[in-house]
A and B are shown apart, each in its own frame.
Chain A
Amino acid sequence: MTAPPTYDAVVVGGGVHGCTLALFLARGGMRVALIERGPLCREASGVNAGTLTMQMTRVALIPYALRAHRMWATAREWLGHDVGVVVCDGLSLAFTEREAEILSFRAGKRREAGAPIDLVSPARAKAIEPGLSDHPILAGFCPVDGYASAYLTGLAFRRALVEAGATLFENAEATGVEPCAGGYAVRVADGRAIAGARLALCGGVWLEPMCAWLGVRLPVKVLVNQLAVTERTPPVMRSVVGVASGLLSLKQFANGTTVIGGGWQAVGDRDRGGFALRPEALIGNLRLACHAIPALRGARLARAWAGLEAETADAMPAVGELPGLPEAYVCGGVHSGYTSGPYIARLLAERMLGGEPDLPLFPVERLLAPAPEAAGASPRVPAGADAPEGDPAR
Chain B
Amino acid sequence: MTAAAPPLRAEAAVIGAGPAGATAAAVLARAGVSTVLIDEAAAPGGRVWRAPPDVLRARAGGPELAEGDALRARVAGAGAQLLAGAVVWSVTELGGRFRIDVMTDGGMTDHGPRVIEARLLLVATGALERVSPFPGWTTPGVIGLAAATILLKSQRMAPGRRLVVAGAGPLLAAVAAGALKAGAEVVAVADLNGAADWARAAPALAGRPALAARGAGWVAAMLRAGVRPGFRTGVRAAHGDMRLEAVELGPVDAEGAPVAGAPTRRVACDALAVGHGLAPATEITRLLRAAHVFDRARGGWLPETDDACRTSAPRLYAAGDGAGVLGAAAALAAGERAAAAMLADLGRGPAPRPAPGASRAARFGAAMGRLSRQRPAATAAIAPGTVVCRCEDVTRAEIDAAFDAGATDLNQLKHFTRCGMGPCQGRVCGDAAAELLALRLAGRGGVDAARRAVGQWTGRAPLRPVPLDALIGAFDYADIPVPDPAPL
Contact = CB atoms under 8 A, between A and B. Distances in A.
Contacts of B99: 279
B231 to A, nearest CB: 41
Interface string B398-420: 00000001111101101110100
Nearest to A384: B487
A155 B486 contact: no
Contacts of B422: 231-232, 302
Interface in B441-488: 458, 460-462, 465-469, 471-472, 475, 477, 480-488
A283 B113 contact: yes
Interface stretch (A5-13, A179-187, A211-219, A286-294): A286-294
A277 interface: yes
Interface residues of A, number: 66
Nearest to A391: B488
A263 interface: yes
A283 B481 CA distance: 10
Interface of B is mostly: loop
A206 interface: no
A289 B99 CA distance: 24
Given A290-B472, A303-B460, A387-B487, A95 B93 contact: no
Interface string A282-308: 111011101100001111111111000
Interface string A359-394: 000000000000000000000000000111001010
Given A300-B468, A303-B460, A109 B113 contact: no
A247 B461 contact: no
B132 to A, nearest CB: 25
A354 to B, nearest CB: 31
B264 interface: no
B289 interface: yes
Interface in A102-122: 102, 106, 109
B421 interface: yes
A174 to B, nearest CB: 19
B304 interface: no
Given A247-B486, A283-B113, A302-B423, A297 B94 contact: no
A243 B481 CA distance: 14
Interface in A32-75: 39, 42, 46, 56, 58-59
B92 A277 contact: yes
A79 interface: no
Given A151-B415, A393-B488, A284 B481 contact: yes
Contact of A305 (B407, B460, B484, B487): B460
Given A291-B477, A386-B487, A302 B468 contact: no
B406 A245 contact: no
Contact of A155 (B101, B415, B469): B415
A290 B412 CA distance: 31
A254 to B, nearest CB: 12
A154 interface: yes
A165 interface: no
A155 B461 contact: no
B469 A297 contact: yes
A277 B461 contact: yes
Contact of B405 (A59, A159, A170, A393): A159
Contact of A267 (B92, B421, B483): B92
B90 interface: yes
Contacts of A192: none
A315 B421 CA distance: 33
B67 to A, nearest CB: 35
A393 B484 contact: yes
A159 B469 CA distance: 41
15 contacts: A58-B488, A102-B485, A154-B416, A155-B416, A243-B482, A247-B483, A278-B92, A279-B101, A283-B471, A300-B468, A302-B423, A302-B465, A303-B462, A335-B486, A386-B488
Interface of B: 90, 92-94, 99, 101, 113, 115, 289, 405-409, 411-412, 414-416, 418, 421-423, 425, 458, 460-462, 465-469, 471-472, 475, 477, 480-488
Interface of A: 39, 42, 46, 56, 58-59, 95-96, 102, 106, 109, 135, 151-152, 154-155, 158-159, 170-171, 230-232, 243-247, 255, 263-265, 267, 272, 275-284, 286-288, 290-291, 296-305, 315, 335, 386-388, 391, 393
